[in-house]
Amino acid sequence: MEIKKMQGIIEAILFTMGESVELGRIASAIEHDENTTRKLIHNMMDRYNKEDRGIRILEMDDSFQMCTKKEAYEYLIRIAKQPKRYVLTDVMLEALSIVAYKQPVTRLEIEKIRGVKTDHAVNKLIEYGLIEEVGRLDAPGRPLQFGTTQEFFRRFGLQSLDELPTLDEEQIAHFKEEAEDEAQLQLDI
């Protein structure tokens, strides 16, 4: 195997792993001894420095790791925001479920089904990229209609809406009974 190809494989390994990889594992992957592998990696390290690349390879106790150069940090921070951890509350999951099953659906229709305001939940779902505006209802005021996004499918591991779980008649009857009991409690108060 030629040197450039072996270095390309090493580069792919270090990039993909994202953490330090032991020299022995790299040597095994390219089917060469550790001394040859170390020389190949050191040549790559020298080339990256010489070419003033944005990445570098660090050596730590017979392990190697690919990372960005510290000089690039100020530029990276300009585009890489602090990652947000998205939390889907019960309210948001309810709204998302309604959109997924009833789409295209308006905010008012979501609120009718839920029985409470959904502005915050809908806005957060849009912000998270799980739902989007898909058009306007042909009715007075022309309210926005919402549907799921490709991100929704990706996050929930679905290929199509046909893969959404379905309820059998017994479950539907049970839910209706619970809703009627809850409505009766509201009337009694």
In a domain, 187, yes or no: no
103's tokens: 């789409």
> What is the model's pTM?
0.50
Q: Are residues 42 and 102 in the same domain?
A: no
Which of 140, 83, 144, 68 minimizes the C-alpha distance to 108? 144
* pLDDT (mean) for 28-43: 93
Q: Per DSSP, which regions of 103-152 are E strands?
A: 105-106, 131-136, 144-148
* Residues of the chain above pLDDT 90, percent: 45
Give residue 87's pLDDT.
83
Give residue 37's pLDDT.
93
Look over the chain and give the mean of its residue pLDDT values, rounded to a whole number: 87
In a domain, 59, yes or no: yes
Q: Please, are residues 145 and 104 in contact by the beta-carbon 8 Å criterion?
A: yes
pLDDT in tens, 71-122: 888 888 777 766 566 788 989 999 999 999 999 999 999 999 888 888 899 9
Residue entry with tokens 């990229």: 129
Q: Are residues 119 and 163 in the same domain?
A: yes
Q: Are residues 68 and 104 in the same domain?
A: no
Confidence at 153, pLDDT banded by 50, 70, 90? confident
Q: Are residues 40 and 73 in the same domain?
A: yes
Q: Is residue 170's pLDDT more than 70?
A: yes
Provide the residue range defining the domain that includes 153. Answer: 90-168
Q: Is residue 174's pLDDT more than 80?
A: no
- Higher local confidence (pLDDT), 179 or 142: 142
- Higher local confidence (pLDDT), 187 or 28: 28
Which of 120, 124, 122 minimizes the C-alpha distance to 109? 122
Q: Are residues 74 and 143 in the same domain?
A: no
Give residue 84's pLDDT.
62
94's tokens: 């309810």
In a domain, 188, yes or no: no
In a domain, 53, yes or no: yes
CATH code of the domain in which 56 resides: 1.10.10.10
Q: Domain count for the chain, please give it.
A: 2
Q: Are residues 28 and 67 in the same domain?
A: yes
**Among the ranges given (17-21, 103-107, 129-133, 140-144), the one the predictor scored with the smallest mean pLDDT:** 17-21
Give residue 157's pLDDT.
81
Which of 87, 42, 88, 49 minimizes the C-alpha distance to 71? 49
